[in-house]
Structure 1
Amino acid sequence: MKITAYLAVAAVAQAATVPRHQRLHADRRDVAPVVETVTETLYQTVVWVDSNGKPVSTETKDLSTSPSATTPISVAASPTNYKKQPVNDSGTIKSSQSSSEMPSPLSTSVPPTEASRMSTQDAPQSTNDAASSQNTGKGQTAGNSASSDGMGICYDMIDSQPQCKDPATISSEFSFLKSQGYTMVRIYDIGCPVNDFTAAAAQHGLTSMVGINSIANLQGDLNKLIGMMGGNWASVDTVYIGNEQVNTGQASADQVAAAVSTAKGILSGAGFGANVITVDTFNVMMNDPTICSTSDYCGTNIHAFFDPNTNAPNAGAFVLNAYNKVAATNGGKRIVITETGWPYHGNANGQAVPSPENQNSALDSIRGSGVPTGSLYFFQAYNTGYKQPGYLGVEQYFGIYDH
């Protein structure tokens, strides 16, 4: 999720009084750099937008009083326990927020949109032959990597101060993530030095997904990304053009498809010859094939937690159902789930209850659902305490490895 806050996966044209539950994304253009050096950018202001992309509030950070981040190192992997806590160089466990620092409870009375109510009872069986044959990482014994055929993880380049993580921190965290069986890493936007991220990915044998969140300044943003990369695209498997632009009402499906097509030509001229896609929520993509018609594959965000009828053990069935529906709409084009996860803290959303145990259960359910693990990016590696709590107070607590 970029610098992200994603309040829901579901949006559909219903009565105007029914809010959309999308993740709120703090766009890089809305985050003003306060101090900039060669390696990092400090951020002070975040503008939060509603479902139509209109500003609704502004959050200002006091950078001088923010806590310092610690740097994790690699620890032994466990295939079903996602709670390995990274430690810093002094051997101290990387700290999470204490319960006294947690956001106060938010109302859970906001009704979900109809698209988020896809019943898991309608989901296909998770053992279809084509998908299950690729899930060779299941059933491993303790001590093995999390998956023998790899999977993806979403990664935030901003730490708790908040500022861009330095190359040493990124490399250390990537070493840990590689030890957990991940082979793909996704970041969000161009507010931090993307080349630090891709260099660390190459160092640890990971493929990377980079891109721009908005298409409003397509040429300028691509020029910035290309300048950061300096022609070194070795670890980059995918460049995404726009994250949830249609779901948030910032662009139409036609505009996004046209932007992807334009970006392909620009990126090709800069020496990039791999995948160029857009990313949007599953409900948007299963309703309109135009969105990813020019993409090399369909990148879709699917979060079972935001369906109040889905509990943690059934998260995998929900995700597989949505995955299959996106595939059906898009004529069998390859589908990659670019975000899927479960928070471990916050308020309940009907049957969807955040807790460490439920986060483990949901992630295991998704891994065993039948969706090829090579087509999954889990959201996300570490917590994002710098964000606003968001809907149900869960936005800061999707981190898998630092609590």
Structure 2
Amino acid sequence: MPLALWLASSRISSGDIHTSSSDKSQGLKRDLATEVTWTTVTIANVYVYVDDNGVPYETKTIGQVSTVDTTVTASTFTTSTTVQATPSPERSSKTADVTPSVSAIAHNAPNPAVTEPAVSISSSVSSSSPASSQISTPVTSSASSSLVALPAPSSSAASSAALSSKVPEASSASTAPQQSASPEPRPQTSANDAWPIGVTYDPYTSNGCRSDQDVAQDFDKMKQFGVIRIYGSGCNMIPLAVKNAKRLNLKVLAGIWLTTRGSSDDIDQYIQTLFQAVRDNGGSWDIIAGVSVENERVNDKDETASAVVDAVNRARSGLRKSGFNGPVAAVETVPAILGNPAVCQASDVVMANIHPFFDTHANAESAGQFVKDQVSQIKNQCGGKRVIVTESGWPTAGDSHDNAVPSPANQKTAIDSLNAAFSGDLFFFNAFDDAWKSDFQGSYNAETHWGILH
């Protein structure tokens, strides 16, 4: 990306006021001595880097302070001045409990080692159901990979909203991300930034984690998609996803898994791991399309909206300091977004899981229009922000309900409908069936049957 460079020489003046008194008691009148000191510092060679739109994203100062001029004014005395000591306000800093848990619903991607999974169903109507912690046996589906026929993305097609930047070279894997004095710019969110059609992926099996070789083979099967969404750091997913995405010229929507009900990602450690993975694979943050923070935790009543807002802000701050300037956002269901506008306000873009299958009125043929209508509702609620559908699809098996009938044929129909309605900014759920999950009544026994590739 072409960069503009500004060169400036700055003079920065600051004033310090020092007070002294013979009486240190609170709220008493006494003589007050005031001394005003002005310090002028001259700094040379300030480089400000900006993007194509003139938005600064990095500032560097070359050289040392050249001069320091100090002027001290005469001291003045004021008699009988009342000084009331006022305590500094406590700063409330609530940090979300960041530990990915098992969720028994198809659109949550947890750690299969954790028990007592949290459950939610993503739809136009908020709902939840109890889940079993048992791991189901593998289920074979007759659906084939031909259900989604998308061309392999080119480097230009798989565009990212992230500003182009490089991860600084480090001497060891434990080196922390370098701090940046630049502000935390919000990324551009126009329609031109739309990502290509993507797919969601998790690396779990009935027995634990997929091998590195299995993950590489899975990515080969997913290479027709431009972006791969991952949910957390389990099973060494971050370095594996970045490595294979780099190999296939794909991008990654990285995900920080947060929950109060089980194992969760630590935000700071996650950022360090992501930083290291990017550095080990060429050093460009362009491979990371965006970062999602949590997945339906507000919908599941696992986190409060304020805790999610805090987590998004904390993650964004750490990612900006690490050099990543792409979108950072929470992922929620439509009801949770409409009911908690602070979540979409805190996010750079709005990320929503929208599943027509769980709605009482939608069917496979209307899946695309249903999701478009939901996106319109979100945009109206969130001030016209860009909306990315982070999950949508249709199961191949399970129980029918209302107008929704799960089957391989209806999955193909729903996917065709979604492809007709969206050319980008949508992720199909899920790349493969999740045999490690458990079917249950609340998911219409379709929990393990959402895979679109085999």
- TM-score, normalised on structure 2? 0.58
CA RMSD between the two structures: 3.5
Report the Cα offset of residue 401 of structure 1.
1.3
User: How far apart are the structure 2 equivalents of 1:345 and 1:224?
Assistant: 38
Q: Which residue of 2 aligns with 1:46?
A: 115
Structure 2 partner of 1:20: none
Taking the TM superposition and a 5 Å limit, the aligned residue runs for 1:93-112 are none
Which residue in 2 is equivalent to 1:251? 303
- Cα separation, 1, equivalents of 2:202 and 2:277: 21
Q: Is the 8 A contact 2:330 2:344 kept in 1?
A: yes
Q: Which has the higher helix share?
A: 1
What corresponds to 1:191 in structure 2?
Answer: 234
**Which of 1 and 2 has higher RCO (CA within 8 Å, sep 6+)?**
1
Matched, 1:313 2:359: no
**Aligned match of 1:339:** 391
1:82 aligns with 2:151: no
Give the alignment partner of residue 380 of structure 1, picking from 430, 441, 452: 430
- In structure 1, the gaps of 5 or more residues are 8-22, 33-44, 70-74, 85-129, 136-148
- Which of 202, 207, 232 does residue 162 from structure 1 map onto? 207
Q: 2:213 is aligned with what amino acid?
A: A
Corresponding residue for residue 247 of structure 2: 203
Matching residue within 194, 197, 206 for 1:151: 197
CA distance change for structure 1 residues 244 and 54 in 2, over 3 Å: closer, same or farther?
A: closer
Partner in structure 1 of residue 375 of structure 2 = 323
Indicate yes or no: 2:328 matched with 1:290: no
Matches within 5 A, 1:173-192: 173-178=218-223, 181-192=224-235
User: d(CA) in 1 for partners of 2:249 and 2:268?
Assistant: 26
Distance 1:134 1:229 in 2: 22
Report SS of the residue matched to 1:5.
coil
Q: Specify the code of the residue in structure 1 equivalent to 2:430.
A: Q
- Which has the larger strand fraction? 2
| Aligned-pair identity (%) | 29
Pairwise CA distance, 1:258: 2.0
Could you tell me which of 47, 59, 66 is aligned with 2:133?
A: 59
SS of residue paired to 1:226: helix
Distance 1:232 1:26 in 2: 21
Q: Work out the CA distance in 1 between the residues paired with 2:315 and 2:388.
A: 20
1:111-143, CA deviations, whole angstroms, 9 ceiling, x for partnerless residues? xxxxxxxxxxxxxxxxxxx99x999xxxxxxxx
Contact 2:135 2:438 in 1 (8 A): no
Whether the 8 Å CA contact 1:2–1:189 is kept in 2: the answer is: no
Q: Compute the displacement of 1:56 (Å).
A: 5.6
The alignment partner of 1:313 has SS state of: coil
The alignment's TM-score, normalised by the length of structure 1, stands at: 0.65
SS at match of 2:245: helix
Q: CA deviation at 1:213?
A: 2.4
Q: Deviations over 1:235-275 (max 9, x none)?
A: 21211111111101122222212221111112223333322
Whether the aligned pair in 1 keeps the contact of 2:393 and 2:450 (CA below 8 Å) is: yes
In structure 2, runs of 5+ residues without a counterpart are 1-99, 121-125, 151-189, 279-284
Following superposition, the deviation at residue 156 of structure 1 comes to 1.4
Query: Is the contact made by 2:101 and 2:259 (CA closer than 8 Å) also made in structure 1?
Result: no
User: How far apart are residue 188 of structure 1 and its match?
Assistant: 1.2
What is the match of residue 119 of structure 1?
Answer: none
1:220–1:352 Cα change, 3 Å: closer
For residue 6 of structure 1, the aligned residue among 73, 91, 105 is 105
CA change 1:157–1:219 in 2 (3 A) is: closer
* Alignment partners' CA distance in 2, 1:256 and 1:230: 22
Contact kept, 8 Å, 1:281 with 1:301, in 2: the verdict is yes
Q: Does the 8 Å CA contact 1:151/1:374 hold for their aligned counterparts?
A: yes
Equivalents in 1 of 2:376, 2:127: separation in Å? 29
What's 1:224 paired with?
269
Matched, 1:268 2:317: no
Match of 1:171 among 201, 210, 216: 216
Query: Helix, strand or coil for the counterpart of 2:380?
Result: helix
Contact persistence 1:2–1:156 (CA under 8 A): no
| Letter paired with 1:389 | D
Cα offset, 1:177, TM superposition: 1.6
Equivalent AA in structure 2 for residue 82 of structure 1: V
Residue by residue, what CA displacement relative to the aligned partner does 1:66-125 show, whole Å, maximum 9, x if unpaired? 88x9xxxxx9x85xx3399xxxxxxxxxxxxxxxxxxxxxxxxxxxxxxxxxxxxxxxxx
